[in-house]
């Protein structure tokens, strides 16, 4: 089977998926909506199958995801080849990275600070739970990801970064209100009734700790979907929550928060990136390794490849 993949049609596919609609893609590409539709119909005709679900927002089919991966890889390699041929390129290469919110708020900030000194890169960060970020690699939405999945996505390299330790924390007032008179039962607190805070519907850290403590009840769970506001909600006493050590240290020293139990959770993080001969991805990976070495607890096996 011979399949022609015109760059203009691939760029249109990427624009539709990234912007969510044919009309938005048309505005971005300075085309008419009918021209965008014609490009996608031509690409789907050549591929012999539907590539985009006409939903709100538009989403790629499985076949569309494969072409998205190819389109984004090609876009990156073309930008690097152009720079190698003619020197500094007038356009920055776009690099999409999936990273969980807690990493972005703590150790990954060093990576952002390093990238701020690069004049040839535009970072597109996707904030996603570490247990789900590898899905963005599979779907072609990210070139690289911080993930808790140690198994390399097909076509990617994977390597361990270290572990991010979380402690259950609450205000002294909340802890005092739910402390049991007789210590020793579930670390001395009414865990099955004490309210907690979750980041979103994918955040299982608090309930994972409850399971490890043997708690079977379902306490009230407040949802606060940003890292900074989650931290603030715990500091205001809305409920208890699992906080990374880096976020927690200052509050413990100031007495604003207390650790509820010595039980903690260590989340092993891994770096996965597409298996491309890309100096830009190499540079980004070096920055990620350096930041992880400075901030994460080290442990885990060597790199895995798929």
pLDDT band at 258 (very low <50, low <70, confident <90, very high): very high
291 within a domain of the structure (yes/no): no
Q: Is pLDDT at 173 greater than 90 in this prediction?
A: yes
Tell me if 40 is assigned to some domain.
Answer: yes
Q: Which of 161, 96, 139, 137 is nearest to 274 (CA)?
A: 137
- Return the number of other C-beta atoms located less than 10 Å from residue 283's C-beta: 16
> Taking 60 as the threshold, does the pLDDT of residue 176 lie above it?
yes
- Would residue 144 count as lying in a domain? no
Within 13 Å, how many C-alpha atoms sit on residue 229's CB side?
8
Q: Is a pLDDT exceeding 80 seen at residue 88?
A: no
Residue 176's domain comprises: 164-266
pTM score of the predicted model: 0.75
Determine the Cα–Cα distance for residues 156 and 159; give it in Å rounded to an integer. Answer: 10
Cβ–Cβ < 8 Å for 112, 234: no
Q: What is the pLDDT of residue 166?
A: 97
- The stretch 89-110 carries a mean pLDDT of 87
Specify if 277 maps to a domain. no
Average pLDDT, the chain: 88
Phi, psi of 111 (to 5 degrees): -65, -45
Boundary residue ending a domain (27, 43, 71) = 71
Least confidently predicted of 2-11, 44-53, 117-126: 2-11
226 domain-assigned: yes
Mean pLDDT of 15-22: 91
**Residues whose CB falls within 8 Å of the CB of residue 146, separated by 6 or more in sequence, listed in order:** 97, 98, 99, 100, 103, 108, 130, 133, 161, 269, 270, 271, 288
The average pLDDT across 41-63 equals 88
Determine whether 17 is exposed, middle or buried from the number of CB atoms within 10 Å of its CB (0-12, 13-18, 19+). buried
For residue 287, being part of any structural domain is answered with no
What CATH number has the domain bearing residue 199?
3.40.190.10
Domain-terminating residue out of 250, 266, 282: 266
For residue 302, what pLDDT is reported? 40
Return the closest-CA partner of residue 62 out of 2, 132, 139: 139
217 inside domain = yes
- What pLDDT is attached to residue 195? 97
Judge whether 62 lies within some domain: yes
Q: How many domains does the chain have?
A: 2
């Amino acid at each position: 089977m011979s399949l022609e993949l015109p760059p203009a049609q691939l760029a249109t596919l990427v624009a539709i998926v990234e912007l969510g609609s044919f009309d938005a893609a048309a505005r971005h590409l300075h085309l008419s909506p009918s021209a965008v539709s014609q490009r996608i119909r031509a690409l789907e005709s050549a591929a012999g199958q539907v590539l985009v679900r006409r939903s709100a927002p538009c989403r790629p089919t499985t076949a569309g995801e494969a072409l998205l991966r190819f389109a984004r890889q090609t876009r990156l390699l073309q930008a690097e080849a152009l720079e190698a041929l003619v020197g500094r390129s007038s356009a920055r290469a776009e690099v999409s990275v999936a990273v969980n919110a807690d990493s972005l708020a703590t150790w990954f900030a060093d990576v952002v600070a390093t990238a701020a000194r690069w004049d040839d890169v535009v970072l597109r960060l996707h904030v996603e739970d570490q247990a789900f970020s590898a899905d963005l690699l599979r779907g072609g939405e990210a070139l690289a990801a911080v993930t808790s999945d140690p198994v390399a996505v097909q076509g990617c390299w994977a390597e361990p970064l270290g572990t991010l330790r979380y402690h259950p924390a609450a205000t002294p007032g909340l802890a005092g209100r739910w402390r049991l008179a007789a210590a020793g039962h579930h670390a001395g607190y009414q865990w099955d009734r004490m309210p907690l805070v979750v980041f979103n519907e994918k955040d299982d850290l608090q309930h994972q700790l409850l399971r490890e403590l043997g708690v079977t009840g379902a306490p009230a769970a407040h949802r606060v979907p940003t890292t900074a506001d989650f931290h603030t909600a715990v500091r205001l006493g809305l409920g208890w929550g699992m906080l990374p050590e880096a976020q927690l240290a200052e509050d413990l020293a100031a007495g604003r928060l207390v650790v509820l139990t010595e039980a903690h959770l260590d989340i092993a993080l891994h770096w996965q990136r597409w298996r491309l001969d890309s100096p830009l991805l190499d540079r980004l990976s070096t920055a990620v390794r350096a930041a992880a070495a400075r901030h994460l607890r080290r442990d885990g096996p060597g790199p895995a490849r798929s």
